[in-house]
Amino acid sequence: MLLVIWTVVSLVTLLIEVVPGDPATVILGETATQEQIENFRAKHGLDRPAFFFSYGGEKGFVWNGGDNRYADYWLGLLQGDLGTSFRTDRPVRDMIFERYPSTIKLAVAAMLVAIGIALPLGVLAGSRKNSVVDNLASFFALLGISLPTFVIGPFLVYLFAVQLGWFSPTGSLYPEDIVLPAVTLGAALSAILTRMIRSSVIEELGEDYVRTARAKGVSERMVLFKHVLKNGLIPVVTILGLQLGVLLAGAIITEKIFNWQGLGLLLLEDGIGKRDYRLVQGCVLVISVTYIIANSLTDFVYRKLDPRIRLS
């Protein structure tokens, strides 16, 4: 976990540094004086080297020792300090924790939408292989995978907000505002889960324990939901654990479409858009840690679903 976190933050820091543009000019504006720009750079340490090494022209790479922004960031991080925003002068930690619950709320809602659609549809398709239901489920899955969120989102806004007037087109002020973003974000995941559940059900229905249960007179519904579905959930749980990171990343686009005040919108507009290095680093760090924790929890869910699996 520590190695992944270090790698992600280091790569983000490197990419930010090589992208053209000066944060001082972006934040202060083109009308700022040279003195204002220099004071800004000195205040936020932008006048110091970015890494341990810097390119010195004819001298080649020059060793900067510990006097660099990268070392300072990690020293602060070890003390729980994510730095200060260039634009607002507020602690990055406070800005992230204000938006983080909204993003988690949206991701969880999207996952519930995906499971609510995929579970019954996948079981029906798998238990009725090559039937009309199976073909419709396959068509839905292909459609959901093919359509990106920036197509589904505006379509839902036009249909349910503009034409029907059931929901607000953007914002996160009222409880019902989460419906359209959650459906948009959960649509692609539900398509993937439907295919996974269908394949798992078809595979499990051919196992010996299913024939034994049927021979004992167990009802088909009990066979499906008590035996087949439980044993077939392991690959589905794998996808759910991995897709949480995809949901967090996809939330950036979805939050932009619906103006959902979450971590993705903060990263996109205030971080990347304003060249706020510390805010970008903090947002990516929190998303990475959340993704890693979700994958770790997935391993423990395996153990509950199948006692034969041992964690080491």
Where is pLDDT greater, at 33 or 50? 33
Asked whether the beta carbons of 77 and 70 are under 8 A apart, the reply is no
In the predicted model, is pLDDT for residue 62 greater than 70?
no
Long-range contacts of range 144-148, CB-CB < 8 Å, 24 or more positions apart?
A: 144/187, 144/188, 144/190, 144/191, 144/192, 144/194, 145/188, 145/191, 145/192, 147/187, 147/188, 148/188
Asked whether the beta carbons of 111 and 189 are under 8 A apart, the reply is yes
In the predicted model, is pLDDT for residue 84 greater than 60?
yes
pLDDT of residue 56: 58
Q: What 3-state class would DSSP assign to 61?
A: strand
Best CA proximity match to 86, nearest among 25, 164, 33: 25
pLDDT of residue 250: 65
Asked whether the beta carbons of 294 and 104 are under 8 A apart, the reply is no
Least confident interval from 154-158, 166-170, 232-236, 265-269: 232-236
Q: What letters, b where the CB count within 10 A reaches 16 and e where it falls short, cover 233-254?
A: beebbbbbbebbbbbbebbbbb
Handedness of CA 10, 12, 17, 19 (dihedral sign): positive
How many Cβ atoms are within 10 Å of 208's Cβ, its own excluded? 7
Map out the domains of the chain with their CATH numbers: 2-78 (no CATH), 92-305 (1.10.3720.10)
Q: If pLDDT is split at 50, 70 and 90, which confidence band does 310 have?
A: low
Asked whether the beta carbons of 128 and 137 are under 8 A apart, the reply is no
Cα–Cα distances in angstroms (integers) from residue 100 to residues 77, 106, 264, 279, in the given order: 18, 10, 9, 13
At 193-228, the pLDDT tens digits run 888 888 877 777 777 777 777 787 777 777 777 777
Instruction: Report DSSP state, residue 150.
Output: H
Instruction: Report DSSP state, residue 166.
Output: -
In the predicted model, is pLDDT for residue 309 greater than 60?
no
C-alpha of 132 from chain center: 34
Between CA 290 and CA 104 the distance in angstroms is 9
Asked whether the beta carbons of 128 and 201 are under 8 A apart, the reply is no
pLDDT of residue 54: 60
pLDDT of residue 259: 85
Structure tokens at 74: 């990690």
pTM over 0.75: yes
